[in-house]
A and B are shown apart, each in its own frame.
Chain A
Amino acid sequence: MKTGAEYTESLRKLKTQIYFQGKKIDNMVDNPYIRPHINSAAATYDMAFDPEYMELGTATSHLTGKKINRFTHIQQSNDDLVKKVKLLRAIGQRTGTCFQRCVGLDAMNAVYSVSYEIDEKYGSKYHERMCDYMKYVQENDFMVVGGMTDPKGDRGLPPHKQADPDVFVHIVEKREDGIVVRGAKAHQTGAANSHEILVMPTVSMKSEDRDFAVSFAVPMDAPGIVLIFGRQTNDERKLGTLDQGNPTYGVVGGEALVIFNDVFVPWERVFMCGETEFAGMLVERFATYHRQNYGTCKVGVVDVLIGACAAIADYNGAGKASHIKDKLVEMVLLSETMHTSSLAAGYEGHPLPAGNYYPHVTYANITKQNITRNHYEICRIAHDITGGFIATLPTEQDLADPELGPMILKYFKGVASVPTENRIKMGRLIENMTGGTALTESMHGAGSPQAQRVVLLRDANLEQRKKLAQRICGIIPQE
C-alpha cells in the first residue's frame, strides 16, 4: 500500500498530458489548480495507515490474500459494502469535499462482474484479464478513474447514428496485439491525478453499436490521451488561501475531459469488445455501486457543513435562536435520511454470478435521487443560517491591506468573543461548499435524476402492489 506522500510522489513520474487555461501543465503536483484535489485523494491513502481509520481503510484481497487499500477491493460480502459506505463518510468528514477515488473502485467492481458474465456466454477471457488487472492495481495501490460518461452529442440518437462518431468512445482498429480507440470521456473525476483509467460504455446498445461496446484500462499517460482540466466556480481563488474556504482539499473532484486520440490498448487490458447486449448491464452495475456512495461521501461533507453552520450561528450571535436550532435539525434529518438508504443498500446487498457483492438496486437509486434534492435543500438552509455576507465579503487581498483590513475586521465582526477572521473563514468555507460546482455534482454525478427514476419504476413491481390492494378490498380473494 502507498501512503499519501508516496501517492503524491508517484504522480510526479506520470507524463499525463494536461491542459488548463490554454497551457500545458508540466508539473501537476505543484500546480495550485490541481494540488487541492491531490491532497484530497491522498487522504484515501493515508487513512489506510492511520490506526484511527484503518479498520475501514483496508481490506484483504480475495485474489492474493494480502492487505490492500479498500479503494482497490472487490466487494466480498454485505459487510464490505457497508464498510465502503462507512469509510466514505469518514473521509468526507476529513476532507469536506470529494476525494475522487470511489469512482474507480465502483468501475472495477462493475467490470469484474460483467466480464465474468460475458465469458459465461462467449467463453472469452475477459474476467481472467480483469483479475490480473485487479492484482496489478492492488499491488501498486493505483488510483483509477471510472470512465463512463461519453460526451454523447445528440442525446436522442444512439452511438452509431451520431453525426460525429467520436462523441462515444469506439474501436477504430483491431490488431493482433490489441485495439485502437478514439473518442472522449467527459467530467472525469480525479483524472489529472490518477494512474489509470478504466473505460466503460455509457448507454445500452444494439448490435449496430458494436464498435462502441468497449471496456478497457490504460495508464493515464498512455500515448494519445489528452486531458483538458475543467474550470470550477471561483477557481481563481486557488491562487490565494482564505477565499478558497477549503484551501487544503478544494471543491469537488477536479474533473477533466479525457480525450482518446487513437489510443492503443493491448488485449490484456480489454474487458469488453463488441458484446453490445452487456453494455446496459455494465452501465447499471456501475451506476448502482456508485449511487450507493452518494449517501455517504456527501453525508460526510454535509457533517462538515452542519458543523460550519452551527459555528457561524454562534459567531453571529444567533446560535441560541429556536429557528436556527430547528434548521440545524432539518439539515441533520435530510442528511441522515440519505445515509440510511446508503447503509440499507449495503446491508441488503447480494452476490453476483462472479461472486462479488452488489448493493440493493432500489435503495442505491433512492440514495442518489434523495441527494439530488436534499443536498440542494441543505445548502439553501446553510445560506439562510449564514447570512448574506458570504455573497458580499471583500477579498482576502483587501483583508491583508493595512488600511482596508482593519475596516473589514471592524464591520464584519459578529460576537465580541470571536475574531472577525474566524467568522470570515467559516463564511468562506460555507460559501464554497454550497455553490456552483459543488451542487451540480450532486445533481448529475452517478447519473441525472431521471436515470434513477427509470430504475425505480422498473423495479417498483406495480402489478404485485396492485394485487395487494385488490386482495384487501375484496376484488380478488384473500388466500
Chain B
Amino acid sequence: MTAPALATAALDETAVALPVQEPARVARDSRPLRLITCGSVDDGKSTLIGRLLWDTKAVKEDQAASLQRDSKGKQNDLGLPDFALLLDGLQAEREQGITIDVAYRYFSTDKRSFIVADTPGHEQYTRNMATGASTADLAVLLVDARVGLLEQTRRHATIATLMGIRQFVLAVNKIDLTNYDRSRFEQISHEFKELALSLGVRQVTAIPVSALKGENVVYDGRAAMPWYEGPTLIEVLELATTRSAQTVGFRLPVQRVSRPGESFRGYQGTVAGGSVKPGDSVVILPSGMVANVTKIVTFDLVRNAAVAGDAVTLVFDRQVDVSRGDMIVAIDSQPMTGLAFDAQLVALQAEGIQPGKRYWLKSGSRRQRVQVQPINQLDLQSGKWNHADELPMNAIGKVHLAFDEQAIFDAYEQNRTTGAFILIDPDTNNTVAGGMITAKRATLGGIHAEDSRVILSLPADLADQLMATEIFSSRREDAEVRRVTAARAIEIIDTIDE
C-alpha cells in the first residue's frame, strides 16, 4: 500500500502531500500503548516518530504548512520535510538540530491509540530519556544502519530494561543509506539480540526502516527491500501488550485524608496494585493497625470494588490513625517494611550520587530521609558490575538504602509503583536519581552475623578473575578484600591457625 497523494494549497509543490484525511476511529476498549524511542544521537528517533505521526494522519494541515516553512533550507537531498521538527518543539532544539527533552505525542490507528515519548539520544540528557522510559510499555530502539550499536544504544537498552520494559523493537534505520543492505541488517539484529538476551529480554522484533522515506514504518518497504518479509513498525505496535497488572496484593498509598465534616472521614489515593472491596480487612502501614473497608466512595458511584489504577476514597469501620504517606495494604499479602533496602538506580544529575549523603526519597506519596551507599556500577561495554564508591552522572548502579524511619516497598519486579522511587537532593531540590527496589536488606548485625565465613588467600590474577564473575560482583558488598604481599598472607593465615 502506498500513501495516496493530496495536493494542499498551503504546501509548496516540491513537498510530499499529506495523506488523505480519513476519520480516525479510535479504539477505546483499552488504555493506550505507551512507547518510547531511544538510541544514540542522530539515529533518527524524532524523524521516525514524525513520520509515524505524518503517515497515521495525526498532522493537521496548518501544522504541515509550518513544517514545510520550517524545513526550508534544511531540506535533505530527497526534498522531504524535516519530520523531526514535528517533535523538536523547543527553540534550542531547532537551532541545534537535536532533541533535548522528551516530547509526548498522541496518535491512533483504527486498531488502538498510542502515547509516544520521543527521547533525546545525547548522553548529557539521559535523565530525560529515563523520564520517558519509566512509564513505557515498549521501547523502539534505533540504530543507524551504517554505524551499528554504540555505548549509548547499550545504555538506553539497559535503562529501559531496568525500568521494566520487556518488549523491544529494533529499528535498523537509515537503511536507505546502505543500499538496503540485507547482511548489514542481519548482522546488527544479531548483535542486538545478544545484548537483549544478556539483559533478559526475549521479545525483540528487528525491522529495517527508513524513517525519512517512510519505509516499513506505516507503509511497507517491499519495493526497496523485497528481502524483508516481516511486519512494519505500526503492525508490531498494534499487537504489543500493555504492561500487565501488578502481581502483588492490594496497595493504596494514602495521598490525603478527607474530612469535609464530622460525619465523614475517608482516605484518598490511587490503587497501586491488587483490588479491594467493602468488607475486606486491610492493614495500615507502617503502624500495623487493622481495619475493615466499609465503603469505596467516588464522585458518582459507590463502588463495590476498586482495582489497580482507580483513584478512590476508602472509608473504614473504625477510627484509626492514618495520614499521608501511609500505605493501606491487603492483610494476607503485605509489602516489605524495614530500615534497609537494596536498589538499582540511574544517576541523573551532574553531581552524581555521593556516598553517605542524606537525600529525600519519594515513593508513592511517602517522602523520607535516606542515606545512599553506592556498591556497584554497571560497565556498559562489558555488561559487568564493577565496584564503585560513588556514582557519576548517567551511571547505572546498585546501592544500599538506609532509612531513619520504617520504609515500605515491594520489589520493582513485582510492583512498578510501590517498588519505584526518586531521590531528591535537599540542597538543590532537584530530582537526582530514579530507583527501583530489588530486595529488603537484613540490617547490620542481623541474620548474617552468625554465618560462618571463609578466608581465601589467592594469587592476585586468580582473585581478579574470580571477582570479575557475575556471581562475585553481584555480592561484592558481602566480601572483604585486602591486597597484601605473599609473605604477609602467610603470616596472617598462620595466626588464624594458632
A and B from one complex: no
